[in-house]
């Protein structure tokens, strides 16, 4: 590591770097660390009381610098920010990023490496684990010791407590919804130091295996689906992409994110990034409203931890209305036609 000298931010030498034990692999966008990555820092708190955390950011240009400054002050557990500025790391491709994690681990000998369980972490962490010859523990929802973790299995129908018995580092992906960060939790009196990772030994090996082509994302002002307080979801019951606009209008009025079932995504009503469930996003908002969603277990796997679930379905026997001793899905259920209920809601709700 080369100390970060020429900026006003405090710098620190490489010797301190060796004392730290947890590395968080962070994703950033628009000059800020993503909330899901701050949750990964929060999760690190549970590994041990005196655990201090290094956060690793990579990319290139001014937005990386801005994100590093944000990282330096976004959570009290962060002891230092490791910044890797290189054109080779401009895009989050698994090959170069996994090699970066490998390089940083070889220098820092961390006991744990954590990433949020989104497409970024799921893409990079397993490859980095293979390079480090360890087996990662994925989708952790609870940490009950430095090597004991709870994770869902069978599409969330059972929780499994696992003991990590492999060698260091213990690598984890965590579900960010299980480690929320309250705004009051992340106040800190001074910024953590920012260090630059020495990439002189990084090389080109394996770089040709994947190539960045383009990124397309919805240009929307709506809250991020993974962290929204309210989510309005539409299923196959919406019947067409055109009808799905009603769900989007309702979400706009409620300041909510839009979600969808896999059936709605497969039918082409909405893009795949809105899918909630076992093979989509995991959400746990304060309020989850589902229209025309049957409640298949693969969908429930992505939303069952929502605080309040409201379901509108014309079939009173739909599984989303199920109430057994083991499982209750909807807290409030309305048996009705969504083509009547949504327009009525749109009419009655005030403009935002
Ligand atoms: P349907 O099951 O067809 O339900 C539509 C519902 O709309 C029905 O209950 C119907 O009564 C109701 N309806 C129809 N018209 C109206 C109306 N006018 N008013 C009110 N209600 C109406 N699914 C996911 O969602 N997410 C996943 O991540 C996911 N991963 C999967 C992974 C695997 C390996 C597999 C095998 C499946 C996965 N699925 C996933 C698919 C899942 O099994 C279901 O097929 C899917 O969730 C069903 O979506 P749906 O509820 O929109 O459609």
Closest C-alpha to ligand 1, atom 26? 277
Mean pLDDT over 332-346 rounds to: 97
Tell me the per-residue pLDDT of 27-72, one tens digit each, with 9 for 90 and over: 999 999 999 999 999 999 999 777 789 999 999 999 999 999 999 9
- Per-residue pLDDT of 226-250, as tens digits, reads 889 999 999 999 999 999 999 999 9
**Chain position carrying tokens 């990319």:** 59
CA distances in angstroms from 344 to 246, 278, 337, 348, listed in the order given: 11, 32, 11, 6
Residue with tokens 């994703």: 27
Atom 29 in ligand 1: residue holding the nearest Cα: 298
pLDDT at residue 6 above 50? no
Best residue among 232, 298, 303, 310 to mutate for probing ligand 1's pocket (most ligand atoms within 8 Å of CB) is 298
What residue's CA is closest to ligand 1, atom 27?
277
Provide the whole-model pTM. 0.81
Cβ < 6 A, ligand 1 pocket: 235-237, 261-264, 275-280, 292-294, 296, 298-299, 302, 312-315, 318, 337-339
Closest CA to 202 of 82, 95, 111, 125: 95
Q: Atom 37 in ligand 1: which residue has the minimum CA distance?
A: 298
- Per residue in 70-105, pLDDT tens? 999 999 999 999 999 999 999 989 999 999 999 999
Interacting residues of 160 by C-beta distance below 8 A, sequence separation 6+: 150, 151, 152, 153
Nearest Cα neighbor of 342 from 258, 269, 196, 243 is: 243
How far, in Å, is the centroid of ligand 1 from the Cα of 28?
33
Centre of ligand 1 to C-alpha 234, Å, is 9
Q: From its phi and psi, is residue 146 left (phi > 0), alpha (psi between -120 and 50) or beta?
A: alpha
């Amino acid at each position: 590591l080369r100390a970060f000298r020429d900026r006003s931010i405090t710098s620190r030498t490489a010797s301190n770097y060796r004392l730290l034990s947890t590395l968080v692999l962070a994703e950033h966008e628009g000059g800020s660390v993503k909330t899901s990555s701050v949750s990964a820092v929060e999760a690190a708190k549970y590994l041990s009381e005196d655990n201090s955390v290094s956060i690793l950011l990579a990319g290139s240009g001014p937005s990386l610098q801005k994100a590093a400054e944000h990282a330096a002050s976004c959570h009290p557990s962060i002891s230092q920010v490791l910044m890797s500025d290189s054109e080779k790391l401009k895009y989050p491709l698994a090959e170069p990023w996994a090699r970066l994690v490998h390089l940083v681990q070889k220098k820092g000998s961390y006991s744990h490496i954590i990433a949020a369980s989104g497409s970024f972490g799921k893409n990079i962490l397993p490859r980095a684990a293979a390079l480090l010859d360890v087996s990662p523990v994925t989708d952790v929802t609870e940490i009950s010791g430095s090597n004991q973790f709870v994770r869902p299995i069978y599409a969330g129908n059972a929780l499994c407590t696992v003991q990590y018995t492999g060698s260091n580092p213990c690598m984890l992906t965590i579900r960010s919804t299980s480690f929320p960060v309250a705004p009051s939790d992340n106040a800190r009196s001074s910024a953590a130091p920012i260090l630059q990772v020495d990439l002189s030994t990084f090389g080109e090996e394996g770089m040709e295996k994947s190539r960045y082509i383009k990124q397309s994302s919805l240009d929307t002002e709506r809250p991020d689906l993974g962290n929204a307080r309210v989510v309005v979801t539409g299923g196959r019951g919406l019947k067409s992409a055109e009808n799905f606009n009603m769900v989007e209008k309702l979400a706009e009025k409620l300041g909510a994110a839009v979600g969808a079932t896999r059936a709605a995504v497969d039918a082409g009503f909405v893009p795949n990034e809105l899918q909630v469930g076992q093979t989509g996003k995991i959400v746990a908002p304060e309020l989850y409203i589902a229209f025309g969603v049957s409640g298949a277990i693969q969908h429930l796997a992505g939303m069952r931890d929502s605080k309040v679930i409201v379901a509108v379905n014309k079939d009173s026997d739909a599984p989303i209305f199920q109430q057994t001793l083991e499982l209750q899905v909807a807290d409030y259920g309305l048996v009705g036609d969504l083509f009547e209920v949504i327009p009525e809601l749109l009419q009655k709700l005030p403009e935002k």
